[in-house]
């Protein structure tokens, strides 16, 4: 026999309450019954019930496309999300880098759904900490609102905007496609956001320590073209150490 979803049981129960009230005038009975129904619902869907209020997530499957649109893995991984000011732990999730959306599974319906982005303050996934920047929190036109990977936070911050773009094309054998990473880096210094991509652009922002930073980069053989993420983070970390 197929088990009825917990949320459906709750709805059916609450719909029957008016008839129960007519037959039972004991308000404490009604109150206890509602509490029991809610308790059963929360037990069935878990402590993550507060998250299950976003729209359904659906992306058409294109078998000819290579790769996927998610951050690191296309299989749900446990993470943590700060939603409506509260942290929720051990939440199976995916981060869609094309749509810039956080995806979870609604355990009541079993369907994939998007979290309401405006209610997500931050989340942790695959060992990385992501924060949501709002339009009124940016001080530069070069950075758009959305989720950013906080790679370093000190006297300067390093933010990375992780994105993927789907490229499709027609060939003699049919349609072809692939997802490509489009990453952007930002240094935040004195409340100002600076987009950086090269050693020169980083040194321009951190020019007050340019000489020792150049020396550090050379000594540690930092390669901005081969591993831009590591190089920028290492420079920012060393900059902070020079400020102490």
With a cut of 70, say whether residue 6 has pLDDT above it. no
Residue 28: pLDDT band with limits 50, 70, 90: low
Residue 16: pLDDT band with limits 50, 70, 90: very low
How confident is the model at residue 1, as a pLDDT? 45
Crossing angle of helices 228-243 and 210-219, in 10° steps, is 130
Domain ranges, ordered by start, for the chain: 6-45, 51-153
With a cut of 90, say whether residue 136 has pLDDT above it. no
pTM of the model: 0.78
Dihedral over alpha carbons 57, 63, 64, 67 (to 10 degrees): 60
**Residue located via tokens 């409506």:** 84
Average confidence score pLDDT of the chain: 84
The answer to whether the CB of 199 falls within 8 A of the CB of 205 is: no
With a cut of 60, say whether residue 115 has pLDDT above it. yes
How confident is the model at residue 27, as a pLDDT? 57
């Amino acid at each position: 026999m197929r088990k009825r979803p917990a949320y459906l049981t709750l709805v059916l129960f609450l719909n029957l309450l008016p008839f129960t009230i007519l037959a039972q005038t004991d308000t404490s009975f009604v109150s206890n019954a509602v509490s029991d129904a809610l308790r059963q619902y929360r037990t069935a869907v878990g402590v993550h019930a507060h998250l299950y209020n976003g729209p359904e997530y659906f992306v058409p499957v294109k078998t000819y496309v290579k790769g996927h649109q998610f951050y690191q893995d296309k299989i749900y991984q446990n993470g943590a999300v700060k939603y409506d000011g509260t942290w929720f732990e051990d939440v199976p999730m995916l981060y869609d880098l094309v749509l810039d959306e956080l995806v979870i599974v609604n355990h009541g319906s079993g369907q994939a759904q998007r979290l309401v982005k405006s209610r997500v303050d931050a989340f942790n996934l695959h060992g990385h900490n992501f924060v949501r920047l709002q339009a009124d929190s940016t001080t530069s036109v070069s950075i758009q609102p959305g989720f950013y990977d906080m790679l370093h936070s000190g006297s300067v911050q390093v933010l990375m905007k992780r994105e993927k773009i789907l490229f499709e094309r027609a060939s003699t054998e049919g349609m072809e496609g692939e997802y490509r990473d489009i990453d952007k880096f930002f240094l935040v210094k004195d409340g100002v956001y600076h987009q950086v991509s090269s050693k020169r652009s980083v040194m321009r922002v951190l020019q007050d320590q340019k000489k020792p930073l150049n020396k550090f980069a050379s000594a540690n053989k930092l390669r901005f073209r081969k591993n831009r993420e590591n190089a920028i983070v290492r420079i920012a970390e060393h900059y902070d150490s020079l400020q102490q």
